[in-house]
């Protein structure tokens, strides 16, 4: 049974249909990438899965449960976290306060302290800046904070939305190394990313989304070598 399954999902913004009946799944332990151009419906897909946007029809199933109409804060409690597009850190709060907010669904203080220590071990720069306001961090540091905040909820799956956006090539490599290490620690990853080459290089499987429809799917390594994908998304 898939950890996450999306079945014939349709989403509308007024009269505009953003998702036109997409279906895909993510198995436990995988990195699955959703790639596509701007406006393809990638972020809409993640927001609908996370309970932030209402589905028009179709269903989202997590751990075998229908979560299509469950609000986002309850979905977090079920073991799903999101790293949003554009980081969305709380600029006027410190790094430590942002991380503490990521654990709002948890009650055991000792376990929370243990998780925050693990986050600081993974992101040493966050430890160095734990008393600093998040709005004063660099783009790369804010991305690390957004990822660390998601890990604070102790998720089974993380939805990552454009983690490389606006970062230098050096930082992009670092962020993808971190995604790989998070996955190696047992967290399943659903990755939305415009940098198709980087996404396909770390994913197990991938889906290509175009104007609200899935046009291609398969092993990431196969898509990375597919001529249509190379021309459309890899600039080759």
71 CB-contact burial (10 Å; exposed 0-12 / middle 13-18 / buried 19+): exposed
DSSP 104: T
**pLDDT band of 35, cuts 50, 70, 90:** very high
Q: What is the pLDDT of residue 25?
A: 97
For residue range 116-157, what is the model confidence (pLDDT) as tens digits?
A: 888 898 888 898 889 889 889 888 888 888 989 999 888 999
**pLDDT band of 172, cuts 50, 70, 90:** confident
Decide if 88 contacts 146 (C-beta within 8 A): yes
Q: What is the pLDDT of residue 235?
A: 64
Q: What whole-number distance in Å separates Cα of residue 111 and Cα of residue 103?
A: 10
121 CB-contact burial (10 Å; exposed 0-12 / middle 13-18 / buried 19+): exposed
**pLDDT band of 3, cuts 50, 70, 90:** very high
For residue range 47-95, what is the model confidence (pLDDT) as tens digits?
A: 999 999 999 999 999 999 999 999 888 898 899 998 887 668 877 889 9
CB within 8 Å of 116: residues ≥ 6 apart:
96, 99, 100, 103, 152
**pLDDT band of 195, cuts 50, 70, 90:** confident
Structural domain boundaries in the chain: 1-78+202-236
54 CB-contact burial (10 Å; exposed 0-12 / middle 13-18 / buried 19+): exposed
**Six token digits for residue 204:** 């197990």
**pLDDT band of 236, cuts 50, 70, 90:** low
Fold type of domain 1-78+202-236: Rossmann fold (3.40.50)
Q: How far is CA 154 from CA 78, 125, 162, in A?
A: 10, 20, 21
């Amino acid at each position: 049974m898939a950890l996450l399954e999306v079945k014939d999902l349709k989403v509308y913004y007024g009269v505009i249909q953003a998702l036109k009946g997409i279906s895909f799944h993510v198995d436990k332990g995988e990195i699955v990438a959703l790639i596509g151009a701007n406006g393809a419906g990638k972020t809409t897909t993640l927001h609908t899965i996370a309970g932030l946007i209402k589905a028009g029809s179709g269903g989202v199933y997590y751990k075998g449960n229908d979560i299509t109409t469950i609000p986002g804060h309850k979905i977090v409690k079920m073991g799903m976290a999101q790293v949003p597009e554009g980081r969305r850190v709380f600029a006027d709060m410190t790094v430590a306060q942002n991380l503490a907010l990521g654990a709002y669904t948890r009650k055991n203080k000792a376990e929370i302290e243990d998780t925050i220590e693990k986050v600081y071990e993974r992101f040493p720069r966050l430890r160095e800046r734990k008393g600093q306001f998040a709005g004063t961090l660099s783009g790369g540091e804010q991305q690390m904070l957004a990822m660390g905040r998601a890990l604070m909820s102790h998720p089974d799956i993380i939805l990552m939305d454009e983690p490389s956006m606006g970062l230098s090539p050096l930082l992009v490599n670092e962020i993808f190394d971190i995604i790989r290490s998070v996955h190696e620690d047992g967290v399943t990853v659903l990755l939305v990313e415009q940098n198709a080459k980087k996404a396909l290089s770390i994913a197990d499987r991938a889906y290509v989304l175009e104007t609200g429809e899935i046009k291609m799917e398969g092993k990431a390594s196969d898509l990375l070598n597919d001529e249509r994908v190379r021309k459309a998304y890899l600039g080759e």
